[in-house]
Structure 1
Amino acid sequence: MKVLFKVTRQQQNTKARVQTYTLEVESGNTILDCLNRIKWELDGSLAFRKNCRNTICGSCGMKINGRSALACKENVGREIARFPSPSTKEIPEITIAPLGNMPAIKDLVVDMTSFWNHLEAVDPYVSTRGRAIPEREFLQTPQERTQLDRAGNCILCGACYSECNARAVNSDFVGPHALAKAQRMVADARDTETEARLEAYNQETQGVWGCTRCYLCNAVCPMEVAPMDRIGEIKQQLLQEKDAGENRSIRHRKVLVELVKEGGWIDERKFGVMVVGNYLRDLKGLLSLAPLGLRMLAKGKFPLKFEPSEGVEEARSLIEAIQRYNSHCE
């Protein structure tokens, strides 16, 4: 069958353009097979990364029909099925573009410097002290090793980083790939720097609290690492070990649970005072709420009283059951 490939072409720091190529292909051909044919048969100037062709190296990450994926994993048949042509007479189209959140060098090749720098920032190596055991090999039990399975599957393809909404608006956020690797270090029984790692990952919007929980990293990960879930595991450990006074992010989550247990939903009057004002201990935070509070009062949007929701006891029992379960699983 004939397929029209719309490929983004560009040089570094220049405006991108779309170039089209028509190929006769089979539905089982991978997108990488098709790109190879375009380069070998139609246009030798097309640039893209590739290596293993077997979903191992992560080199061929790119945007295929708008989502970040590996060109060696996705095939023509599946892509056409995702976006079928309105008419059977039309030639099916597949769009191919470079990964997001990283500047293009040429065509589908991006500069991954920020990707690697952010990975390095979480120190993704078992600590030196953890490796310094000259008498014998450092053995792990099967149960300990199982804790590393999901995060250990990451092949650093860049798909999650490309899709990350938090990274798009906050250049300090280290990204889901780095935090998935960070969770692996926290869970690794051989590592001796867990406390220091958690302190580093507890940074406001640079660490785990920068994640907006959009789930896109989970949706595109070709290895089912589920980076957002790994970030959630670090958050959960921080919430268990840190006091609400540590920082606003931890306080935000603890106060939310506390107020829902109390009233079934959030008492907005208390929420701002407790989170931003740190339970009346942060005068600067309290003063920062004044302009918003005055505007709400002027527009009649400030709740003067709080009405608990129905089923408060049921909501409280559910939260407490989850808390007991999490405590039992530690």
Structure 2
Amino acid sequence: MTLPSITVKLHRQASRQADANYQTYTIKANPDRTTVLDALIKIQEEQDGSIGFRRNCRNAICGSCAMRINGRSGLACQKHISEVMGAQDTELVIEPMHNLPVIKDLIVDMTKFWDNLHKVDPYVSTASRQISKTEYLQTPAQRAQLQAAANCILCGSCYSECNAAAVSDRFVGPHALAKAYRVMADNRDDRTEERVAKYNESGFVWDCTRCYNCNEVCPVEVQPLDRISQIKHEILANPDLPKSTAQRHRHTMVELVKEDGWIDESKFGVIVVGDNFRDLKGLLSIFPLGMRMVLRGKMPYPWQFQKSAGAPEAKALIEAIAEAKKIH
């Protein structure tokens, strides 16, 4: 059997300070049976021993070989070439993960990644509890609450594709928040209330842009965005927490849709950013935008606003959802 030729375009960078470039290699391989990691190893062993990349288990367990493959982060050992090369692709492009500095070629410095994980304190605390010296048993139902988040192998794929991490140094990242929920959902932890309050602060769940990229690339189906949403629900359900702008945004959106069927923008900004006229600095920050919207006819005057014809249905639906949450 004659194997097809596959062109591999590889990101090369000798050091942090060096300029990046791309180098092209050609290998013979069966795309249905050859993984991206197999291709890299083949190039390193047969053509260029200077290529730098991380690998270990080759079974999608350790997370070491995370990298960007044809514009999408994932595990090189998990992806066969045929999976990542579409019908229109003429080459296999392999690059280091984004949002982390490159050390060499495909190797990135994970320091920030680990530092952000540390910020959520992802360890079960039992300091205030009497723990058996043998076992602390969990029921299957209790374990199921944290199972998805517990699957995280900390490969970095989600962090690499995170839009919030790309523009904000303070955002801890989807990997950290998935681990944060894993601890929050653990019935053995004795610091749940403290954690909920912490994750309500800047840099945590409210900085997430909900781009869904983390869910799309997670190789072990942790679904980090879903875990972030679960933390948000815990925060919103706690009436004792100070109402942040993000919380007002969520509550106000629901209340306005419940009342009118859609959002009255003349009220929305004042309530959310201006805290109902209590935050003068916030009001001043949105005044220029509000004036431009009024002048361009993008915002109706209060006396011009009309409720949606579907307002009663929207209200009934929101109330039904709220009632269902109480039952469950």
Q: One fold, TM greater than 0.5? A: yes
Mapped to 2, the partners of 1:139 and 1:151 lie a distance apart of 19
Q: Is the contact made by 1:130 and 1:190 (CA closer than 8 Å) also made in structure 2? A: no
Instruction: Output aligned runs, 1:261-300, within 5 Å.
Output: 261-300=258-297
What is residue 198 of structure 1 aligned with on the other side? 196
Mapped to 2, the partners of 1:244 and 1:298 lie a distance apart of 38
SS in 2 for 1:296: helix
SS in 2 for 1:129: coil
What is residue 325 of structure 2 aligned with on the other side? 326
SS in 1 for 2:165: helix
**275-284 vs 106-115, greater mean Cα deviation:** 275-284
Mapped to 1, the partners of 2:61 and 2:181 lie a distance apart of 21
Amino acid at match of 1:239: L
Mapped to 2, the partners of 1:243 and 1:263 lie a distance apart of 28
Question: Structure 2 regions of 5+ residues with no counterpart?
Answer: none
Residue of 47, 62, 80 corresponding to 2:67: 62
Identity of aligned residues (%): 55
Alignment root-mean-square deviation, CA: 1.6
Mapped to 2, the partners of 1:290 and 1:98 lie a distance apart of 43
Q: 1:180 to 1:318 in 2, by over 3 A?
A: same
Q: Is the contact made by 1:130 and 1:191 (CA closer than 8 Å) also made in structure 2? A: no
Question: Structure 1 regions of 5+ residues with no counterpart?
Answer: 86-91
- 1:47 maps onto 2:52 in alignment: yes
How far the C-alpha of 1:325 sits from its partner, in A, is: 2.1
SS in 1 for 2:127: helix
Amino acid at match of 1:23: I
Instruction: Output aligned runs, 1:30-179, within 5 Å.
Output: 30-80=35-85, 82-85=86-89, 92-129=90-127, 133-179=131-177
Q: 1:244 to 1:275 in 2, by over 3 A?
A: farther
SS in 2 for 1:224: coil
SS in 1 for 2:231: helix
Mapped to 2, the partners of 1:137 and 1:69 lie a distance apart of 36
Q: Is the contact made by 2:129 and 2:190 (CA closer than 8 Å) also made in structure 1? A: no
Q: Is the contact made by 2:126 and 2:188 (CA closer than 8 Å) also made in structure 1? A: no
How far the C-alpha of 1:278 sits from its partner, in A, is: 1.3
What is the TM-score normalised by the length of structure 1? Answer: 0.93
How far the C-alpha of 1:306 sits from its partner, in A, is: 1.0
What is residue 89 of structure 1 aligned with on the other side? none
How far the C-alpha of 1:133 sits from its partner, in A, is: 1.3
How far the C-alpha of 1:321 sits from its partner, in A, is: 1.7
Amino acid at match of 2:6: V
How far the C-alpha of 1:218 sits from its partner, in A, is: 0.2
Mapped to 2, the partners of 1:296 and 1:72 lie a distance apart of 51
- 1:2 maps onto 2:5 in alignment: yes
What is residue 310 of structure 2 aligned with on the other side? 311
How far the C-alpha of 1:263 sits from its partner, in A, is: 0.3
Q: Is the contact made by 2:161 and 2:213 (CA closer than 8 Å) also made in structure 1? A: yes
Q: Is the contact made by 2:99 and 2:166 (CA closer than 8 Å) also made in structure 1? A: yes
Q: Is the contact made by 1:244 and 1:250 (CA closer than 8 Å) also made in structure 2? A: no
Q: Is the contact made by 1:6 and 1:94 (CA closer than 8 Å) also made in structure 2? A: yes
Q: 1:51 to 1:9 in 2, by over 3 A?
A: same
Equivalent pairs counted in the alignment come to 321
Q: 1:83 to 1:102 in 2, by over 3 A?
A: farther
